[in-house]
A and B are shown apart, each in its own frame.
Chain A
Protein backbone atom coordinates (compact mmCIF):
# COMPACT_ATOMS: atom_id res chain seq x y z
CA UNK A 1 0.00 0.00 0.00
CA UNK A 2 2.87 2.35 0.76
CA UNK A 3 3.96 2.12 -2.88
CA UNK A 4 0.50 2.97 -4.11
CA UNK A 5 0.55 6.00 -1.85
CA UNK A 6 3.82 7.04 -3.43
CA UNK A 7 2.34 7.08 -6.93
CA UNK A 8 -0.71 8.96 -5.78
CA UNK A 9 1.36 11.33 -3.66
CA UNK A 10 3.66 12.10 -6.57
CA UNK A 11 0.62 12.89 -8.68
CA UNK A 12 -0.90 15.12 -6.03
CA UNK A 13 2.38 17.02 -5.71
CA UNK A 14 2.34 17.74 -9.45
CA UNK A 15 -1.29 18.89 -9.39
CA UNK A 16 -0.63 21.11 -6.39
CA UNK A 17 2.44 22.65 -8.00
CA UNK A 18 0.84 23.62 -11.30
CA UNK A 19 -2.24 25.03 -9.59
CA UNK A 20 -0.85 26.69 -6.50
CA UNK A 21 2.84 27.33 -7.05
CA UNK A 22 4.34 30.41 -8.62
CA UNK A 23 3.52 30.98 -12.26
CA UNK A 24 3.41 33.57 -15.01
CA UNK A 25 -0.31 32.95 -15.55
CA UNK A 26 -2.54 33.82 -12.60
CA UNK A 27 -3.64 31.02 -10.29
CA UNK A 28 -7.20 31.78 -11.38
CA UNK A 29 -6.39 31.28 -15.08
CA UNK A 30 -4.49 28.10 -14.29
CA UNK A 31 -7.44 26.74 -12.32
CA UNK A 32 -9.75 27.51 -15.25
CA UNK A 33 -7.42 25.73 -17.69
CA UNK A 34 -7.12 22.78 -15.29
CA UNK A 35 -10.92 22.52 -15.09
CA UNK A 36 -11.44 23.36 -18.79
CA UNK A 37 -14.08 25.77 -17.61
CA UNK A 38 -14.67 29.50 -17.71
CA UNK A 39 -11.94 30.64 -20.14
CA UNK A 40 -12.76 33.27 -22.74
CA UNK A 41 -12.13 32.94 -26.51
CA UNK A 42 -9.81 32.06 -28.13
CA UNK A 43 -8.15 30.37 -25.15
CA UNK A 44 -11.24 28.26 -24.51
CA UNK A 45 -10.86 26.60 -27.92
CA UNK A 46 -7.21 25.70 -27.37
CA UNK A 47 -7.73 24.46 -23.83
CA UNK A 48 -10.91 22.57 -24.77
CA UNK A 49 -8.97 20.71 -27.46
CA UNK A 50 -6.07 19.92 -25.12
CA UNK A 51 -8.53 18.40 -22.67
CA UNK A 52 -10.84 16.55 -25.06
CA UNK A 53 -9.28 16.20 -28.53
CA UNK A 54 -5.55 16.79 -28.13
CA UNK A 55 -4.63 15.34 -31.53
CA UNK A 56 -6.66 18.14 -33.13
CA UNK A 57 -4.71 21.04 -31.64
CA UNK A 58 -3.24 23.12 -34.47
CA UNK A 59 -0.54 25.70 -34.91
CA UNK A 60 -3.37 28.21 -35.46
CA UNK A 61 -4.94 27.48 -32.08
CA UNK A 62 -1.70 28.47 -30.39
CA UNK A 63 -1.20 31.44 -32.71
CA UNK A 64 -4.70 32.71 -31.93
CA UNK A 65 -4.07 32.44 -28.20
CA UNK A 66 -0.80 34.35 -28.59
CA UNK A 67 -2.47 37.04 -30.72
CA UNK A 68 -5.02 37.54 -27.95
CA UNK A 69 -2.24 38.65 -25.62
CA UNK A 70 -1.02 35.45 -23.96
CA UNK A 71 2.73 35.14 -23.65
CA UNK A 72 4.43 31.86 -24.55
CA UNK A 73 5.23 31.23 -20.90
CA UNK A 74 1.60 31.71 -19.94
CA UNK A 75 0.55 29.30 -22.70
CA UNK A 76 3.17 26.78 -21.61
CA UNK A 77 1.58 26.82 -18.15
CA UNK A 78 -2.06 26.82 -19.26
CA UNK A 79 -1.61 23.93 -21.69
CA UNK A 80 0.14 21.94 -18.96
CA UNK A 81 -2.68 22.74 -16.53
CA UNK A 82 -5.26 21.54 -19.06
CA UNK A 83 -3.35 18.29 -19.67
CA UNK A 84 -2.77 17.61 -15.98
CA UNK A 85 -6.38 18.54 -15.20
CA UNK A 86 -7.93 16.10 -17.66
CA UNK A 87 -5.59 13.32 -16.52
CA UNK A 88 -6.41 14.03 -12.88
CA UNK A 89 -10.11 13.65 -13.65
CA UNK A 90 -9.48 10.32 -15.36
CA UNK A 91 -7.37 9.12 -12.42
CA UNK A 92 -10.07 10.15 -9.93
CA UNK A 93 -12.84 8.55 -12.00
CA UNK A 94 -10.93 5.28 -12.23
CA UNK A 95 -10.12 5.17 -8.53
CA UNK A 96 -13.73 6.02 -7.61
CA UNK A 97 -15.06 3.20 -9.82
CA UNK A 98 -12.56 0.80 -8.26
CA UNK A 99 -13.56 1.86 -4.74
CA UNK A 100 -17.20 1.28 -5.59
CA UNK A 101 -16.45 -2.10 -7.17
CA UNK A 102 -14.45 -3.30 -4.18
CA UNK A 103 -16.94 -1.97 -1.63
CA UNK A 104 -20.13 -3.35 -3.13
CA UNK A 105 -18.91 -6.00 -5.50
CA UNK A 106 -17.59 -8.48 -2.97
CA UNK A 107 -20.01 -11.05 -1.68
CA UNK A 108 -18.00 -11.19 1.53
CA UNK A 109 -18.35 -7.49 2.12
CA UNK A 110 -21.53 -7.73 4.20
CA UNK A 111 -20.05 -7.84 7.66
Chain B
Protein backbone atom coordinates (compact mmCIF):
# COMPACT_ATOMS: atom_id res chain seq x y z
CA UNK B 1 0.00 0.00 0.00
CA UNK B 2 1.05 3.58 -0.54
CA UNK B 3 1.61 4.36 3.14
CA UNK B 4 4.52 2.36 4.56
CA UNK B 5 2.83 2.17 7.90
CA UNK B 6 -0.08 0.23 6.36
CA UNK B 7 2.41 -2.39 5.19
CA UNK B 8 4.62 -2.54 8.25
CA UNK B 9 3.02 -0.71 11.17
CA UNK B 10 1.43 -3.68 12.96
CA UNK B 11 2.16 -5.06 16.41
CA UNK B 12 3.52 -8.58 17.03
CA UNK B 13 0.08 -10.06 17.73
CA UNK B 14 -1.35 -8.80 14.45
CA UNK B 15 1.75 -9.88 12.53
CA UNK B 16 1.38 -13.36 13.95
CA UNK B 17 -2.28 -13.40 12.93
CA UNK B 18 -1.35 -12.37 9.38
CA UNK B 19 1.25 -15.15 9.27
CA UNK B 20 -1.34 -17.70 10.41
CA UNK B 21 -3.86 -16.50 7.83
CA UNK B 22 -1.20 -16.83 5.15
CA UNK B 23 -0.30 -20.29 6.37
CA UNK B 24 -3.84 -21.65 6.56
CA UNK B 25 -5.36 -19.96 3.52
CA UNK B 26 -2.32 -20.34 1.30
CA UNK B 27 -2.74 -16.71 0.23
CA UNK B 28 -1.25 -13.44 1.45
CA UNK B 29 -3.56 -11.33 3.62
CA UNK B 30 -5.47 -8.97 1.28
CA UNK B 31 -4.83 -5.27 1.80
CA UNK B 32 -8.55 -4.78 2.50
CA UNK B 33 -8.17 -7.03 5.55
CA UNK B 34 -4.89 -5.44 6.64
CA UNK B 35 -6.38 -1.96 6.57
CA UNK B 36 -9.03 -2.78 9.16
CA UNK B 37 -6.33 -4.10 11.49
CA UNK B 38 -4.40 -0.83 11.37
CA UNK B 39 -5.28 1.28 14.43
CA UNK B 40 -8.68 -0.46 14.47
CA UNK B 41 -9.97 1.95 17.07
CA UNK B 42 -9.89 4.76 14.50
CA UNK B 43 -11.67 3.07 11.60
CA UNK B 44 -11.52 -0.72 11.33
CA UNK B 45 -13.68 -1.77 14.26
CA UNK B 46 -16.68 0.42 13.46
CA UNK B 47 -16.24 0.07 9.69
CA UNK B 48 -16.47 -3.70 10.05
CA UNK B 49 -19.63 -3.39 12.16
CA UNK B 50 -21.31 -1.13 9.62
CA UNK B 51 -20.23 -3.13 6.58
CA UNK B 52 -21.32 -6.41 8.17
CA UNK B 53 -24.71 -4.96 9.08
CA UNK B 54 -25.20 -3.63 5.53
CA UNK B 55 -24.01 -6.81 3.79
CA UNK B 56 -25.16 -9.57 6.16
CA UNK B 57 -27.70 -7.97 8.49
CA UNK B 58 -31.43 -8.64 8.04
CA UNK B 59 -32.72 -7.50 4.63
CA UNK B 60 -35.18 -8.56 1.95
CA UNK B 61 -32.19 -8.48 -0.45
CA UNK B 62 -30.24 -11.72 -0.62
CA UNK B 63 -26.52 -11.81 0.16
CA UNK B 64 -25.93 -12.34 -3.56
CA UNK B 65 -27.97 -9.24 -4.43
CA UNK B 66 -26.02 -7.14 -1.95
CA UNK B 67 -22.65 -8.45 -3.15
CA UNK B 68 -23.76 -7.65 -6.70
CA UNK B 69 -24.62 -4.10 -5.59
CA UNK B 70 -21.15 -3.83 -4.04
CA UNK B 71 -19.55 -5.03 -7.28
CA UNK B 72 -21.68 -2.68 -9.37
CA UNK B 73 -20.96 0.40 -7.24
CA UNK B 74 -17.27 -0.51 -7.36
CA UNK B 75 -17.45 -0.76 -11.13
CA UNK B 76 -18.93 2.74 -11.35
CA UNK B 77 -16.07 3.95 -9.13
CA UNK B 78 -13.57 2.02 -11.29
CA UNK B 79 -12.17 0.43 -8.16
CA UNK B 80 -10.39 -2.61 -9.59
CA UNK B 81 -9.69 -4.35 -6.26
CA UNK B 82 -13.28 -4.10 -5.06
CA UNK B 83 -14.72 -5.11 -8.45
CA UNK B 84 -12.56 -8.24 -8.33
CA UNK B 85 -13.41 -9.07 -4.74
CA UNK B 86 -17.18 -8.56 -4.94
CA UNK B 87 -17.63 -9.98 -8.42
CA UNK B 88 -16.15 -13.19 -7.05
CA UNK B 89 -18.29 -13.03 -3.91
CA UNK B 90 -21.53 -12.33 -5.82
CA UNK B 91 -20.71 -15.16 -8.25
CA UNK B 92 -20.21 -17.62 -5.41
CA UNK B 93 -23.27 -16.41 -3.49
CA UNK B 94 -25.55 -16.80 -6.51
CA UNK B 95 -23.70 -19.85 -7.87
CA UNK B 96 -24.13 -18.01 -11.17
CA UNK B 97 -21.17 -16.38 -12.86
CA UNK B 98 -22.89 -15.36 -16.13
CA UNK B 99 -25.55 -13.39 -14.23
CA UNK B 100 -22.92 -11.27 -12.48
CA UNK B 101 -20.85 -10.80 -15.63
CA UNK B 102 -23.93 -9.69 -17.57
CA UNK B 103 -24.82 -7.00 -15.01
CA UNK B 104 -21.31 -5.59 -15.02
CA UNK B 105 -21.14 -5.66 -18.82
CA UNK B 106 -24.52 -3.99 -19.43
CA UNK B 107 -27.06 -3.47 -16.68
CA UNK B 108 -29.93 -2.70 -19.05
CA UNK B 109 -29.72 -5.92 -21.04
CA UNK B 110 -28.72 -8.24 -18.18
CA UNK B 111 -31.22 -11.04 -17.43
CA UNK B 112 -32.12 -9.98 -13.87
CA UNK B 113 -35.29 -9.09 -11.99
CA UNK B 114 -36.83 -5.65 -12.54
CA UNK B 115 -36.61 -4.48 -8.92
CA UNK B 116 -32.89 -5.31 -8.72
CA UNK B 117 -32.17 -3.62 -12.05
CA UNK B 118 -34.00 -0.43 -11.01
CA UNK B 119 -32.12 -0.39 -7.71
CA UNK B 120 -28.72 -0.88 -9.33
CA UNK B 121 -29.53 1.88 -11.83
CA UNK B 122 -30.33 4.28 -8.97
CA UNK B 123 -27.18 3.33 -7.02
CA UNK B 124 -25.11 3.88 -10.15
CA UNK B 125 -26.55 7.34 -10.68
CA UNK B 126 -26.11 8.30 -7.03
CA UNK B 127 -22.50 7.13 -7.05
CA UNK B 128 -21.70 8.79 -10.38
CA UNK B 129 -23.51 12.09 -9.94
CA UNK B 130 -23.62 12.45 -6.16
CA UNK B 131 -27.37 12.87 -6.16
CA UNK B 132 -30.68 11.31 -7.10
CA UNK B 133 -34.10 12.91 -7.30
CA UNK B 134 -37.42 11.95 -5.75
CA UNK B 135 -38.46 11.05 -9.30
CA UNK B 136 -35.59 8.56 -9.54
CA UNK B 137 -36.74 7.01 -6.27
CA UNK B 138 -40.35 6.82 -7.46
CA UNK B 139 -39.15 4.79 -10.45
CA UNK B 140 -37.41 2.36 -8.13
CA UNK B 141 -40.50 2.05 -5.93
CA UNK B 142 -42.70 1.63 -9.02
CA UNK B 143 -40.49 -1.29 -10.08
CA UNK B 144 -41.65 -3.10 -6.94
CA UNK B 145 -38.88 -2.24 -4.49
CA UNK B 146 -40.04 -1.49 -0.94
CA UNK B 147 -38.85 1.68 0.85
CA UNK B 148 -37.01 -0.56 3.31
CA UNK B 149 -35.18 -2.28 0.45
CA UNK B 150 -34.16 1.11 -0.89
CA UNK B 151 -32.72 2.00 2.52
CA UNK B 152 -30.90 -1.31 2.71
CA UNK B 153 -29.42 -0.75 -0.76
CA UNK B 154 -28.30 2.76 0.23
CA UNK B 155 -26.44 1.27 3.20
CA UNK B 156 -24.57 -1.10 0.84
CA UNK B 157 -23.86 1.86 -1.41
CA UNK B 158 -22.45 3.89 1.50
CA UNK B 159 -20.26 1.02 2.68
CA UNK B 160 -18.74 0.45 -0.75
CA UNK B 161 -18.31 4.06 -1.68
CA UNK B 162 -16.11 4.21 1.41
CA UNK B 163 -14.19 1.01 0.75
CA UNK B 164 -13.68 1.76 -2.95
CA UNK B 165 -12.12 5.12 -2.10
CA UNK B 166 -9.76 3.60 0.43
CA UNK B 167 -8.79 0.80 -1.96
CA UNK B 168 -7.87 3.30 -4.65
CA UNK B 169 -6.29 5.98 -2.46
CA UNK B 170 -4.14 3.55 -0.47
CA UNK B 171 -3.48 1.40 -3.54
CA UNK B 172 -4.71 -2.07 -2.54
CA UNK B 173 -2.73 -4.68 -4.44
CA UNK B 174 -4.85 -6.81 -6.79
CA UNK B 175 -5.10 -10.50 -5.91
CA UNK B 176 -4.71 -13.47 -8.21
CA UNK B 177 -8.02 -14.97 -9.40
CA UNK B 178 -7.48 -17.75 -6.83
CA UNK B 179 -6.86 -15.13 -4.16
CA UNK B 180 -10.15 -13.38 -4.96
CA UNK B 181 -11.99 -16.72 -4.90
CA UNK B 182 -10.49 -17.57 -1.51
CA UNK B 183 -11.42 -14.12 -0.18
CA UNK B 184 -14.98 -14.52 -1.48
CA UNK B 185 -15.31 -17.89 0.23
CA UNK B 186 -14.19 -16.31 3.49
CA UNK B 187 -16.63 -13.38 3.15
CA UNK B 188 -19.53 -15.77 2.55
CA UNK B 189 -18.59 -17.93 5.51
CA UNK B 190 -17.66 -15.27 8.03
CA UNK B 191 -18.97 -11.97 6.74
CA UNK B 192 -17.23 -8.68 7.41
CA UNK B 193 -16.84 -8.65 11.19
Contacts and interface: CB of A to CB of B under 8 A. Distances in A.
Interface string B155-171: 10111011111101111
The 4 closest A-B pairs by CB, nearest first: A83-B165, A101-B137, A100-B134, A10-B50
Interface string B118-152: 00001000110011111111100100000110111
Given A21-B41, A90-B154, 14 more contacts: A10-B50, A10-B53, A11-B158, A21-B42, A79-B170, A80-B43, A82-B165, A83-B163, A86-B162, A91-B155, A91-B158, A93-B131, A98-B150, A100-B137
B42 A14 contact: no
Contacts, number: 158
A18 B42 contact: yes
Contact of B57 (A7, A13, A51): A7
A94 interface: yes
B42 to A, nearest CB: 6
Contacts of B39: 73, 76
A69 B115 CA distance: 49
A2 to B, nearest CB: 9
A86 B180 CA distance: 27
Given A14-B47, A98-B137, A102-B141, A4 B151 contact: yes
A11 B154 CA distance: 11
Chain B interface residue bracket vs A:
35 or more
B5 interface: yes
B38 interface: yes
B46 interface: yes
Contacts of A72: 3-6, 9
B2 A55 contact: no
B52 to A, nearest CB: 8
B151 A73 contact: no
Contacts of B162: 83-84, 86-87
